[in-house]
Structure 1
Amino acid sequence: MLTHYDLMLPLLRMMQNENKIYSLSDAYSELLKVLDCSEEEKNATMDDGRNIIFYRLQWAKTYLKKAGIIDYPRKAHFQLSKVGESLDLSNLKSLTPKYLSQFESFNDFRKLNQKTDREMKLAEQKIAVNNEELTPPEIISDQSKLLKDDLKSELLDLIKTKSPQFFEKLVVDLLVTMGYGGSHQDAAQAIGKTNDGGIDGVISEDRLGLDKIYIQAKRWENTVGRPEIQQFKGALADQVAKKGVFITTSGFSKEAIESAKKSGIVLIDGDKLTSLMIEFGLGVQIERSFHIYKIDQDRFDEDNF
């Protein structure tokens, strides 16, 4: 059965020949015409009825996006990027993790997924981790983490395309969902109003408003450094504030983290932000769920009858 890596090269060759915008369904239909596989493989489905090639094509598309080879010009559509248009595919037999590792954005994606060299080697050799190495629950756990990390990456990319005002509203929704700020209306009135020396908003720590949390929210690409933390720290001191949260879509430098620790400032970077969104169900929805059952030994204890 073709893997998502097997699908990448024929997909890219097809896209270079046509040079147009595709929906996933269109790409799937056209790709089936050129794939070197049997009708049985083309029609194979998963337990839930989804076509396996269609499902793996989704992952092929995701990996190519992470490598910067394709772009998403609009919702649910994709096309070749400038990088993808310039690739010479003529002498390639397949696209492997090693080939994709030449692209910095793909390496960043690999780091996010925390793949080990051994795992990448297994993927490149098309060897699945089998039951002799991992138990079925461990395999499910590993794949669940991979799906979650990919979702976090997509969430962050999407957030970065939105306006600063949208990001502030997103911060409000997250904090309220986590139990801070009372109501959405109360929290919305607090965020984006102060703009006082590095403070973007003030929100109640509890529904009674007994304590306040001062917030800095930055939709940034660049790493937040020590100067930004120092500015926020100074703003907190001016307000005689005890608690502050600095939220960003990027990350924090080592110096920024050390400075925040000394001041009791909580830092939430892009990775933590998207983790919290998934944990509290904000901006995401459940596609599928799995239940692992075991024997209820108490039910078969004759002393209980």
Structure 2
Amino acid sequence: MPIPDYQSCMLPLLRFAADGNEHQLKDAAQALAGQFSLSEQELSEFLPSGQQPVFINRLGWARTYMKKAGLLRNPRRGYFQITDRGLSVLRDGPAEIDVKYLERFPEFIEFRSPKKDGVTEEGEESIASDSGASQTPNEALELAYERLRTELASEILQTLKGADPSLFENIVVELLVKMGYGGSRKDAGKAIGRSGDEGIDGIIKEDHLGLDNIYIQAKRWDATIGRPEIQKFAGALQGQRARKGIFITTSDFSREANEYVSKIDSKIVLIDGKSLARLMIDFGVGVTSVAIYEVKKIDSDYFAED
């Protein structure tokens, strides 16, 4: 079944804690994963940032919200335990526990109420204030970030397709240098500038010492690049006794082209338009930062007693 949202995790998590013992979130995750019939693939699904599994994140927010409502408490660092109020709630036999249900407790209402500056006393933005939302604040923030990246990547790709060929060549050079290839910017520019040599647009150093070379082909195309073009590039590599190449394009590659490079001896990396745009974002080529938001969490070790 799909990974349950954080509100769907609340009642099962509270029932898990009904024995009154102290529990760690990882133990709850192991027990509830079976209850929700989650597969290994679902359990290994991470947030877009790659920092935390989705299921653990949702369980964590279910615990946090119920703690703010007084149903759970933290008896010591890293552990949670049901409270008398939590036991009373279970005795009432609710069909479900969600944000709307928790709003019957004044402590939770206070936790959710925005202050004058638009931030709760817990430091959470209004991103968490929609009681009907199924996403955790982390998910909402990261998904919004991913949408912005996707829109920016699309804009970059359209700009690349309309760029002058020489500008596209310079962009490729800039990106490869920022990724750690090519030695100096000057050396890389000279290397990539050798075009039209049997299907090879340029040669660039693999590292700053020049221990090996990588052969480049950069195509500012709209049509899908098929296997014949990649075979031609592979043949050009063999003619140069080279084993490493990068084929960069503003379009995409066919399934046959991808299958071909996975079977040949030469190591050829295919970078399509979407990947190129995302690499430009990641390495700061052709983009500028307009805002930076730091997401912080409490440092439990700082407050730990010696």
Normalising by structure 2, report the TM-score: 0.55
Q: How far, CA to CA, are the matches of 2:201 and 2:135 in structure 1?
A: 48
- The equivalences for 1:43-122 within 5 A come to none
The alpha-carbon deviation at position 274 of structure 1 amounts to 0.9
Q: Deviations over 1:211-261 (max 9, x none)?
A: 000000000011111111011011001001010100000000011111122
2:151 paired with 1:150: yes
2:289 alignment partner in structure 1: 286
1:94-113 Cα distance to aligned partner (Å, 9 max, x none) = xxxxxxxxxxxxxxxxxxxx
Residue 195 of structure 1 and its aligned partner are, at CA, apart by 1.5
Which secondary structure state, in structure 2, belongs to the residue aligned with residue 302 of structure 1?
coil
> For residues 131 and 211 of structure 1, do their structure 2 counterparts lie closer, same or farther at Cα, with a shift above 3 Å needed?
farther
- The residue number in structure 2 matching 1:265 is 268
- Corresponding residue of 1:213: 214
Q: Match of 2:234?
A: 233
Where does residue 248 of structure 2 map in the other structure? 247
> In structure 2, what is the equivalent of residue 87 of structure 1?
none
Give the structure with the higher percent helix: 1
Larger Rg computed on CA atoms = 2
Q: Which runs of 5+ in 2 are unaligned?
A: 1-128
The runs of 5 or more residues in structure 1 that have no matched partner are 1-127
Query: What is the aligned residue count?
Result: 176
Given that 1:164 and 1:218 are in contact with CA atoms closer than 8 Å, whether structure 2 keeps it comes out as no
Over residues 136-171 of structure 1, what are the superposed CA-to-partner deviations in whole Å (9 max), with x where a residue is unaligned? 111000100000000000000111111111111110
1:282 & 1:155 partners in 2: Cα distance? Answer: 10
Equivalent-residue separation in structure 2 for 1:295 and 1:188 (angstroms) = 46
Compute the displacement of 1:193 (Å): 1.0
Aligned twin of 2:184: 183
Q: CA deviation at 1:129?
A: 7.4
Residue in structure 1 matched with residue 37 of structure 2 by the alignment:
none
TM-aligned CA deviation for residue 292 of structure 1: 2.0
Identity across the alignment (%): 54
Give, in whole Å, the separation in 2 of the partners of 1:131 and 1:144.
21
AA of the residue aligned to 2:241: V
Cα displacement (A) at 1:278: 0.8
TM-score (norm 1): 0.56
Question: Residues 302 and 248 from structure 1, CA distance in 2 versus in 1: closer, same or farther, beyond 3 angstroms?
Answer: same
Cα distance in 2 for residues equivalent to 1:132 and 1:204: 50
| Structure-2 separation of matches of 1:156 and 1:221 | 11
